[in-house]
Amino acid sequence: EQRPSQQQQQQHHHRRQHSTSSSIIPPQSPQSSSDSPLPNPDLIHQMGPIQTRTSLRSLLMKKWHPSWWMHYDTHSLLIFRSKDHLDDWVQNPYHGKRERAYLVKLRVDFGDIVGGASASGGAGGGGDGQPGGDSNNAKEGGGILGHRILPVKKKSYNKNEPEMYQFKLERWTNMGVSVLAAFASEEEADVQLLYDTITEIMSTCSFGGLHDI
């Protein structure tokens, strides 16, 4: 049996390395850090653990995902997939805009509504007022009328799931209303902190965060 040459072994080893690292955010050179400066720590107000449903699939399947949230700057709520991602977003100086934006699962700028004055200037993650990338609101084409937070309820969807404190966040647009995200925890204090934070953010927005419908 013919053994592979040293060159073939090196090519095979290179392909293996590429396939196992393709899903990992590549390290950036120090020069690229200017593309995405570190977030301003003075603009980090609150953070905490929470269970989330932020995708259409998770909302339909009623599946919770462990997450962490952060109130950043004046009107921005950031959702991260884990505390590690949150810490990496805050502390890693080597990320470019794409890498830092990837770490943010969902970003909502409650001030970015029709006729409103968004106050997210001076944010980190790009220096252009967009922490971690473009606002999730941009997907709506500028037709955001605002958001509405629904009351906290305690419920369970099946026998195998413990009762959890939870609430939903709605987005109102020119096309109608939809559930943007749902949040939950077995710990009432964790849910209440996020609920109170969102309520406070919206109170500082134009129109109280939602146009009169």
The mean of the pLDDT values for the chain is 79
123, 131 in Cβ contact below 8 A? Answer: yes
Residue 139: the pLDDT is: 52
Question: Please, what is the Cα angle at 120 between 117 and 125, to 5 degrees?
Answer: 150
Q: How far apart are CA 119 and CA 204, in angstroms?
A: 10
Tallying the residues shown for the chain, one arrives at 213
Ranges of residues in the chain with a pLDDT under 50 are 1-2, 4, 9-34, 119-129, 133-134, 138
- pLDDT, tens digit, 9 for 90 and up, residues 177-203: 999 999 999 999 999 999 999 999 999
- The confidence score (pLDDT) of residue 23 equals 34
Q: Do the Cβ atoms of 112 and 144 come closer than 8 Å?
A: yes
What's the rounded Cα separation, in Å, for the pair 23 and 58? 22
Q: Tell me, what's the pLDDT at 162?
A: 86
* pLDDT value at residue 33: 45
In the prediction, which pLDDT does 136 show?
Answer: 56
Burial of residue 198 (number of CB atoms within 10 Å: 0-12, 13-18, 19+): buried
Q: Residue 144's closest CA among 177, 121, 113, 180?
A: 113
Pinpoint the alpha helices (H) of 2-96: 6-21, 56-61, 83-91
